[in-house]
Amino acid sequence: MPTLPRATTVLDVARLAGVSAMTVSRALNQPQRVPAATRQRVQAAVEATRYVPNLLACGLRSRRSRLVAAIVPALDSPVFAETVQALTATLGAAGYHLMLGQSGYGADGEDALLQAVIGRRPDGIVLVGVDHSHQVRQQLAGCGVPVVETWDLTHAPIDMLVGFSHADVGAAVCRFLAEQGRRRLAVVSGTDTRAARRAQAFAATAQALGLAAPVQLDVESPSTLGSGRQALRQLLAQPQAVDGIFCSSDMLALGVLTEAAQQGIAVPEHMGVVGFGDQPFAADTAPALSSVRVDGARIGCEAALRVVGRIAGTPTQEQAALDVGFAIVARGSA
C-alpha cells in the first residue's frame, strides 16, 4: 500500500530560508515584527515548499480557530444562498472564515453533523431552524461558543436568534388570498418543520375566516418543480376545485404554474398561486409569481455580527433575539 507523502513542516521552510522556525512563525503571523528582506525570504521558501501553516496548532495556542460553522439543510437550496453569502462576507470582514455543513431535513443528519462540529470547537455556530434534539440542545448550550439559530423564532432559543415567524407567514398568505376573493384554498407543503408551521397557520386562519378547510398536500423536502406539477395534478383530481394555492417554496409554485399552463388553466383568473422565498426567477415566470420575501442577507449579516460581537465581549443581550419579518410580494399569479 502506498504511503502518504510527508507533510512539509515549518522546519523545512526555516531551513530553506536560512532562518529559525520562530522567525518563520513570526513572519507568517506577525509580519510587522519581521524585516522586509526576511519576510521575502520566508515567503519565497513557503512558495517553494508549498507549506500550509497548521491552523489547528495555532488555534490551540490562541484558543481561537478563526472558523465559524454554519449548518444548513441543503447546500444547493437557493433559499439560503443570500444568508450564506452574507455570513461569508461579514465574517470575512472581521477576520473569520465560514465552514459550511449540510444537515438534510431530518434530525438524525443534524445530530451527527453537529456532534462532529462541536467536537472541533469552532469560534461560533450558526444554525438554520430551532428544532433540535434534546441531546444537541444540551451540547450546544454547554459547548462554550456563541450559537445563533436563524430562519425561525422560538421563545426558548439556545443562545441568540435571528429569524421570523413561519406561523405569521402562513396566516398572512391565507388572508392575502382571501382578500383576492379566493374561497377554496389549498396548501402544498414540504415536510420540514418550518414549512409545516406555515401550513398549519394557513389552515387555522382559513377556519377563522369562515372558509372551508384547505386541502393540504405534503411533498418531500427539498421540494422540486416536478413535485409541484404532480401536486397540481392531484389537486385537480379533487371533487372540489381550488382557486387559491400556497406553496412552501417558489420551486413548488413554479411547478404548479407549469402544470397549470399545460392543463390550460388560467392563472390568476381561475387560480391564484403564491410561493415562498421570492427567488430571482419569481419575477420572470409567466405570470410573474407572487411570493413571500424574507431578507436572507440581513439574517446572515445579523447572525455573523452577533457571533463576532460575543467573541469580542460586546454585550448582545438587548438584541439576542431579532425578528426580521417578511413581506408578501404581490405579482401577476395572485
The answer to whether 86 touches 297, Cβ cutoff 8 Å, is yes
Q: What mean pLDDT comes out for the span 244-270? A: 97
Q: Domain limits of the chain?
A: 10-53, 65-164+296-324, 166-293
Q: Count the alpha carbons within 13 Å of 148 in the hemisphere toward its beta carbon.
A: 33
Cα 246 to Cα 187: distance, rounded to the nearest angstrom = 5
Task: Write down the pLDDT at residue 223.
Answer: 85
Nearest by Cα to 98 from 79, 118, 119, 126: 126
Nearest by Cα to 304 from 89, 153, 137, 65: 89
Task: Write down the pLDDT at residue 144.
Answer: 86
Q: What mean pLDDT comes out for the span 255-282? A: 96
Q: Which of 67-81, 161-175, 181-195, 245-259 has the lowest mean pLDDT?
A: 67-81
The whole-chain average pLDDT of the chain stands at 89
Cα 256 to Cα 247: distance, rounded to the nearest angstrom = 9
Q: Which of 81-85, 104-108, 122-126, 234-238 has the lowest mean pLDDT?
A: 104-108
List all residues 6 or more positions away from 221 whose beta carbon is below 8 Å from its beta carbon. 73, 105, 190, 191, 192, 195
Q: Beta 124-128 vs 160-163: how paired, if at all?
A: unpaired
Higher pLDDT, 22 or 245: 245
Question: Which secondary-structure segment (H or E) carries 51?
Answer: none
The CATH architecture that domain 65-164+296-324 belongs to is 3-Layer(aba) Sandwich (3.40)
Task: Write down the pLDDT at residue 54.
Answer: 60
Q: For 272-296, what is each residue's pLDDT tens digit?
A: 999 999 999 999 999 999 999 999 9
Spell out the CATH class of 166-293.
alpha beta
Q: How many CB atoms lie within 10 A of CB 215?
A: 17
Question: Cell triple for residue 27?
Answer: 513572519
Quote the percentage of the chain above a pLDDT of 70.
92
Whether 65-164+296-324 and 166-293 share one fold: the answer is: yes
Q: What is the DSSP letter of 286?
A: S
- Find the angle CA(124)-CA(128)-CA(129) to the nearest 5 degrees: 120
What distance lies between CA 190 and its chain's CA centroid? 16
The answer to whether 204 touches 171, Cβ cutoff 8 Å, is yes
Task: Write down the pLDDT at residue 62.
Answer: 47
